[in-house]
């Protein structure tokens, strides 16, 4: 006899956050406004967290929960929608037990004894398509390979044996020119270890380079960035203390007395070639982009002048006040490492979930797309920022409604940077359902060129990617032609 399913009555699970727990298939979403742009054919994959069963804890946080992968397939003048659970080891054990078995976020010492030794990864953070394979990712486990058409879970995957670390990042980068996959593992030999493993895979999934090195502390390294020559790793002082974890405490603690460290790791070199830089304490979850300019390397991030995750306290147990994130350029100079980390704010309005025209990842760029304008009623919109001039353009979906992370789709492979479409999920909170909208990326304020009604609530998706039909067919991303600015690394 199992206990009835009861979720705790906490703010996290009220309203829009109420667990949905539903897989869905809809052939042909209803077009309620505009028309689907000609030539927009492919698939938007998104991944987020939902709750299969309650954990039994009052301190659940929004980044926990089982993975749900979502697919929006564009073609034949329609959009189809499908969602499926990512059937991880964690998911399968709970399904068999008909109850929650996993405790505090990433803390294996708070789990039910029946799942001792079971991987805790939930596959709930992002979708990756590379070399013909689709993966669901969560940074404390290996990738889960998914069927790109059915979304069936195929296997826990170490990329043909190449991943020797215990986990794999939820923010890999696919180089838009070489089709290489750049990725990493942090705490790569287990909880609270200082090891980082950096990987470069070719377009055939074969391992090109592997670099192991140590962090200054056992940090949370949620994201990184790339240039044509470097992998850029920022280390912020959200630190794991294994004794605290073993005592049932939080997996990370905020250490405002520690410095930020940035490591430039050579893409095709060794650990001996790593360059290090230091600066005052701050934090960030997400990188917009990085690029070289002469001897300088610029890293554009949504920077918090404090703790980006206030639900992770200080070692003294203090809960820090929330601080807003601002799009900020961090700059290091290879010719003057003693200068530390330069800092310049690029946009005056708080924003998060930064994205670019992915064809320009690792290269000089101008256009970024962020969630901004968050209001007391929970509403938010999508903003395009020219990082060179600071000029912006925005669209808001309406009072009380909010948007999820934007996805840029180029009009064609060689169209100018930022010339294309934004595909965006809108949370129609008052109606407890979602919309899928397509906006012209060059004129967001003009509003959607097409709106599709989703009759269910796409509760939360964190990250994802667009895969064109040509890429789905070939397994390779189409490479654009580099312009002279990017060939010179300026």
Tell me the domains of the chain and their CATH numbers: 11-476 (2.120.10.30)
Place of tokens 């380079």: 209
Q: Are 425 and 434 in contact (CB under 8 A)?
A: yes
Q: Are 246 and 109 in contact (CB under 8 A)?
A: yes
Which one has a higher pLDDT value, 56 or 211? 211
Instruction: Please give the average per-residue pLDDT across 235-250, as a whole number.
Output: 98
Say how far apart CA 242 and CA 108 lie, in whole Å.
11
Nearest to 449 by CA among 482, 392, 417, 409: 409
Confidence class for position 296, pLDDT limits 50, 70, 90: very high
Confidence class for position 443, pLDDT limits 50, 70, 90: very high
Which one has a higher pLDDT value, 489 or 51? 51
Residue 487 parent element (H or E): helix 484-487
Q: Which letter, b or e, does each residue of 122-155 get, where b requires 16 or more Cβ atoms within 10 Å of its Cβ? A: bbbbbbbbbbebbbbbbbbbbbbbbebeebebee
For residue 336, give the 3-state DSSP assignment: coil
Q: Are 49 and 122 in contact (CB under 8 A)?
A: yes
Q: Residue 489: its pLDDT value, please?
A: 43
Say how far apart CA 396 and CA 420 lie, in whole Å.
19
CB-CB neighbours of 320 under 10 Å: 17
CB-CB neighbours of 316 under 10 Å: 6
The counts of H helices and E strands in the chain are 4, 33
Question: What whole-number percentage of the chain has pLDDT above 90?
Answer: 92
Q: Is the pLDDT score of 34 beyond 70?
A: yes
Question: What whole-number percentage of the chain has pLDDT above 70?
Answer: 98
Strands (DSSP E) contained in 373-432 are: 381-386, 392-395, 402-403, 407-410, 420-428
């Amino acid at each position: 006899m199992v206990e009835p399913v009861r979720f705790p009555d906490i703010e996290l699970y009220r309203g829009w956050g109420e667990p949905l727990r539903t897989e869905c298939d809809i052939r042909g979403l209803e077009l309620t406004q505009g028309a689907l742009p000609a030539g927009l054919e492919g698939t938007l994959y998104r991944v987020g967290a939902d709750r299969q069963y309650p954990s039994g804890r009052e301190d659940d946080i929004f980044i926990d929960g089982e993975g749900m992968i979502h697919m929006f397939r564009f073609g034949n003048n329609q959009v189809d929608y499908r969602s499926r659970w990512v059937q991880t080891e964690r998911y399968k054990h709970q399904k068999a037990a008909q109850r929650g078995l996993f405790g505090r976020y990433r803390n294996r010492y708070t789990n039910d004894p029946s799942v001792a030794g079971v991987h805790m990864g939930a596959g709930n953070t992002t979708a990756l398509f590379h070399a013909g394979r689709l993966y669901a990712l969560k940074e404390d486990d290996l990738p889960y390979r998914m069927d790109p058409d059915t979304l069936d879970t195929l296997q826990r995957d170490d990329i043909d044996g190449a991943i020797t670390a215990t986990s794999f990042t939820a923010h890999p980068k696919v180089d838009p020119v070489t089709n290489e996959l750049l990725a990493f593992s942090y705490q790569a030999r287990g909880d609270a270890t200082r090891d980082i493993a950096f990987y470069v895979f070719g377009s055939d999934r074969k391992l090109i380079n592997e670099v192991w090195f140590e962090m200054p502390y056992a940090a949370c390294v949620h994201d990184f960035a790339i240039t044509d020559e470097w992998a850029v790793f920022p280390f912020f002082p959200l630190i794991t203390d294994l004794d605290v974890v073993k005592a049932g405490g939080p997996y990370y603690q905020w250490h405002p007395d520690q410095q930020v460290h940035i490591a430039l790791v050579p893409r095709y070199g060794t650990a001996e070639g790593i360059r290090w830089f230091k600066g005052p304490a701050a934090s960030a979850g997400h990188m917009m982009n990085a690029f070289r300019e002469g001897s300088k390397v610029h890293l554009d991030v949504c920077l918090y002048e404090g703790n980006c995750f206030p639900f992770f306290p200080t070692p003294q147990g203090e809960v820090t006040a929330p601080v807003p994130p601002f799009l900020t350029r961090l700059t290091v100079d290879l010719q003057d490492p003693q200068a530390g980390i330069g800092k310049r704010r690029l946009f005056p309005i708080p924003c998060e979930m930064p994205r670019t025209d992915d064809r320009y990842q690792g290269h000089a760029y101008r256009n970024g797309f962020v969630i901004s304008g968050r209001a007391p009623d929970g509403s938010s919109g999508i903003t395009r920022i020219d990082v060179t001039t600071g000029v912006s353009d925005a669209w808001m979906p309406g009072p009380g409604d909010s948007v999820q992370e934007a996805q840029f789709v180029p009009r064609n492979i060689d169209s100018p940077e930022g010339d294309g479409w934004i595909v965006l999920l809108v949370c129609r909170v008052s109606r407890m359902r979602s919309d899928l909208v397509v906006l012209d990326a060059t004129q967001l304020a003009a509003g959607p060129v097409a709106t599709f009604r989703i009759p269910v609530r796409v509760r939360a998706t964190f990250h994802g990617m667009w895969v064109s039909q040509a890429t789905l067919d070939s397994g390779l991303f189409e490479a654009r032609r580099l312009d002279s600015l990017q060939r010179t690394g300026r």
